[in-house]
Amino acid sequence: MSEKTQGEILMEKLTFKRDNGCKDEKIVAEAELFCEGYKCFLDLGKTEREAADFAIAAAIEKGFKPFDRNAKYNPGDKVYLNNRGKSVILAVFGNQPVESGVRVAAAHIDSPRIDLKPNPIYEDCEMALFKTHYYGGVKKYQWTAIPLALHGVVIRADGTKISIVIGEDENDPCFVITDLLPHLAAEQYKRTLGEAIRGEDMNVLIGSYPFKDDKVSEAVKLNILNIIYEKYGIVEADFISAELELVPAFKARDIGFDRSLIGSYGHDDRVCAYPSLMAILNASGTPEHTVITVLADKEEIGSMGNTGLESAFLKYFVCDLANIQGGDGFTALANSECLSADVNAAFDPNYPDVLDRRNAAMINHGAAFTKYTGSRGKSGTSDASAEFVGKMRRLMDANNVMWQMGELGKVDLGGGGTVAMYIANLGMDVIDIGVPVLSMHAPFEVVSKFDVYMVYKAIEAFFKS
């Protein structure tokens, strides 16, 4: 082998090189194994309620107990807090007092979808349909003409709760929002992409047989109501007190001849929720600092509501942990650090114009840190400090985590937000980290297995810090 030239030596020393991480067969094999569990999580936890149930069941199996703010805890004790079945906090007490700061991994378990309106069922042209209101940032045209499954809960007049999942078993029926045939779409083609399908027109087809009685009007609607009543004991008024969500009916699949990628509904943000959950469940021994995984709801609509991270439930939880040790909650918050685990946009060769190649996250380049999100002059972001980015960079390198920096689009072209700014409001140091996603918010999003695993390794390292 020839000697390196002076230029080559300087290049190595001075320049920052970005690289594909999938060169180590052992790591790739580990990533593939890790992602088998991830695919199960995707299929079993398509809604925030199902993902929360999954997390709680897995935590109980690992010895986590419901958190009791009047109890005493020792280092190594494991607790969980179930916030209304839609968000979950898991914690493992560390050797250091909580007041010295905790390590938080925060991800969200809600995803863009189609919600039913409070009064959804109607009949038109002898077909029965559901009225809907989309949830989160969806490109509406992507949600027509694909099989949809119905998930959620209904609270009946007597207060009993009925859980519903229809469309996931291949023998189940499913549902669909119809689209216009191209032959008759001349006017639709002229509309902008955003207006091609109008929100109020996203009505879901749910049946067409009439109830066999000539005396009733709207016999198709009646027939559907009768089927629903016979199966679930639900009447039309019960839909008012319900949370029913339509999600794509397909399952997670490997993508590519090499199976290096996963296509699925709901990667945003199960792809960070699962590594955050596994990192705390698999944590061996007692951590130095108390570690916390938060799986939050409502991120896709701005983190509002009492299950979203703009609410105070995480703050009160950390304060409680400090207080039961006789410590100060606000000091604990101020000393804490958080990885806000959420997805980033992967550079897509089909759409090279929207991302800055030099700063965008690449598929298979590992966990993507995002210093800032926001839009138009970094508006609406927490913008992690150089000191904290430096600390995380050292931590990742010391633990052989393949990482990269990402950005949510070119300047003034797009933008977005995560829970990071709400975490920052608590006084914690926080930076976004996550998996780069192709087709984000589409019914079928794509991620790389290697990147999923690197986010897991990143959070694992963070929890040991």
Shortest Å, Cβ 141 to Mn ion: 18
Q: Which is nearer to Mn ion, 221 or 270 (CB)?
A: 270
Shortest Å, Cβ 58 to Mn ion: 21
Q: Which stretch binds Mn ion (CB under 5 A): 191-199, 342-350, 368-376, 450-458?
A: 342-350
Q: Which is nearer to Mn ion, 81 or 109 (CB)?
A: 109
Q: Which stretch binds Mn ion (CB under 5 A): 213-221, 269-277, 313-321, 369-377?
A: 269-277
Shortest Å, Cβ 343 to Mn ion: 5
Q: Which is nearer to Mn ion, 255 or 437 (CB)?
A: 437
**Largest separation between any pair of C-alpha atoms in the chain:** 94
CA-closest candidate to residue 295, choices 24, 39, 57, 28: 57
Q: Which is nearer to Mn ion, 333 or 341 (CB)?
A: 341
Q: How far apart are CA 275 and CA 272, in angstroms?
A: 5
Q: Which is nearer to Mn ion, 111 or 260 (CB)?
A: 111
Using Cβ positions, the residue closest to Mn ion within the complex turns out to be 269
Q: Does 432 bind Mn ion (CB under 5 A)?
A: no
Q: Where are the alpha helices (DSSP H) in 217-360?
A: 219-232, 267-281, 313-323, 329-334
Q: Does 268 bind Mn ion (CB under 5 A)?
A: yes
Q: Which residues contact 447 (CB under 8 A, 6 or more apart)?
A: 261, 262, 267, 271, 343, 346, 435, 436, 437, 438
Count the alpha carbons within 13 Å of 446 in the hemisphere toward its beta carbon.
14
Number of residues interacting with Mn ion: please give it, by CB under 5 A.
3
Q: Does 445 bind Mn ion (CB under 5 A)?
A: no
What are the C-alpha distances in Å from 109 to residues 54, 98, 200?
11, 26, 26
Shortest Å, Cβ 427 to Mn ion: 23
Shortest Å, Cβ 81 to Mn ion: 22
What are the C-alpha distances in Å from 344 to residues 188, 302, 376?
32, 17, 17
Query: Are 262 and 141 within 8 A, CB to CB?
Result: no
Q: Which stretch binds Mn ion (CB under 5 A): 23-31, 180-188, 261-269, 376-384?
A: 261-269
Q: Does 269 bind Mn ion (CB under 5 A)?
A: yes
Amino acid 93 reads F
Q: Using alpha carbons only, what angle is made at residue 457 by residues 311 and 299, rounded to the nearest 5 degrees?
A: 20
Q: Which stretch binds Mn ion (CB under 5 A): 42-50, 192-200, 303-311, 340-348?
A: 340-348
Q: Are strands 337-341 and 429-434 parallel, antiparallel or unpaired?
A: parallel
Q: Which is nearer to Mn ion, 109 or 234 (CB)?
A: 109
Can you tell me which residue has the tokens 């009946």?
156
Q: Which is nearer to Mn ion, 333 or 437 (CB)?
A: 437
Binding Mn ion by CB under 5 A: which of 50, 115, 342, 429? Answer: 342
Catalog residues that contact Mn ion under the rule CB under 5 A: 268-269, 342
